[in-house]
Amino acid sequence: MTDVAAPRTNPDYLRYRPDVEHPRPDEDADIDRIIAVLRSNNQRAYRRNKRGMRDAHAKSHGILRGELTVHADLPAELAQGMFATPRSYPVIARLSSTSGAIRSDQLRGVRGLGIKVLGVQGPRAMPGDTATTQDFIMVTHREFLFADAHAYLTRGMPTAWTLARLPDHVLRAGSDLLAGVDRHLLRRIGLRVPPNLGVFIAPNTHILGETFYTSAPLRYGDYIAKLLFTPVSPEAVALHGQPVGDGINVHRESVIDFFAEHSATYELRAQLCTNTQTMPIEDATVAWPERESPHCTVATLRFGTQDPYTPARRAYGDEVLSFNSWRGLAAHRPLGSINRLKLRVYEASSNYRHHVDNAPRIEPRDAAELPP
């Protein structure tokens, strides 16, 4: 599920300091321009669908109730923030595709996971935030496709603008064409598929067997980390790499079918930063080497049998809930340019969606608030 490598002996984990971040002087202006483009996408989607849509992670595949258990006897460097004390928390999780449009599940692409941990007490990352939830937003692409907000504006936004306007059959034809290209041949002639298009080459596999990553770093109490979420129960592990079937909503249907008969257990693992030269904070495209610092398990998430997509649950997950990795503890403050971009973009998108839908924006305090 993740690289396995012999860790170096006694790694010296980097301590968090406020000066580990180094924003570009034009970053705020870049983010302003990104928000303006995404707002036009929001407005276009509202005209087409007659309801507000997320500008990313628009299509959900299941809304899950679960429990997160922090492991006991963690070493001091891992017993940080909400993981400092062994205990259990209720969780609401939302599975999705990262597109800002409602697309057929036959399209390849990146899948998303929003984890909302309930009852997390402590100083908050966002000023004025009075919630008691801790959000983690994760995707199936280990590294982010763009280094920072400037790269996202200059290279990512043109791609996003174009993809938002192409019909499914065109996207699938292009994806199938790219997937059929001999990448070894391309390398021999000095060409390669750009990373932002390469995600459409990856096989389309069962979402419950995927490993999800935070991609960009976050504060981890006194340290800095990236996180991953990976299946460990046999029934979930068996789904890894399994191709999806037919149907435009096959991910949703496969999630419903699985949880009708099975529970699933996953682990949350932290990879602590040792060196900002090899594990940079501001460039989200760089893979943090496992040999420098392996992912270590800090918590287990278990989801029991349930119906993850009842009409009431779908409405609650898609229309009421919002996820923002900045909604959480100051001890888990997101770091780096891509995360500073997400702070403003996610808030702007959620504000617009709830406003045009006249929908309440509620942070749950009890798992019972999730409809059955």
Q: What is the pLDDT of residues 29-68, one digit of tens each?
A: 999 999 988 888 788 877 888 888 787 888 999 999 999 9
How many residues in total does the chain contain? Answer: 372
pTM of the model: 0.89
* Tokens found for residue 202: 């990856």
- Profile the chain (372 residues) by mean pLDDT over runs of 10 residues: 48 93 96 89 81 84 98 97 98 92 86 97 95 97 92 82 64 62 54 57 90 97 98 98 94 98 98 96 96 97 98 93 95 97 88 84 91 94
- Ordered by start, the domain boundaries in the chain are 18-365
Q: Residue 161 half-sphere exposure, CB side, CA atoms within 13 Å?
A: 15
Residue the block writes with tokens 């702007």: 348
CATH architecture of 18-365: Beta Barrel (2.40)
pLDDT of residue 6: 44
Q: What is the pLDDT of residues 184-222, one digit of tens each?
A: 554 565 555 555 555 666 789 999 999 999 999 999 999
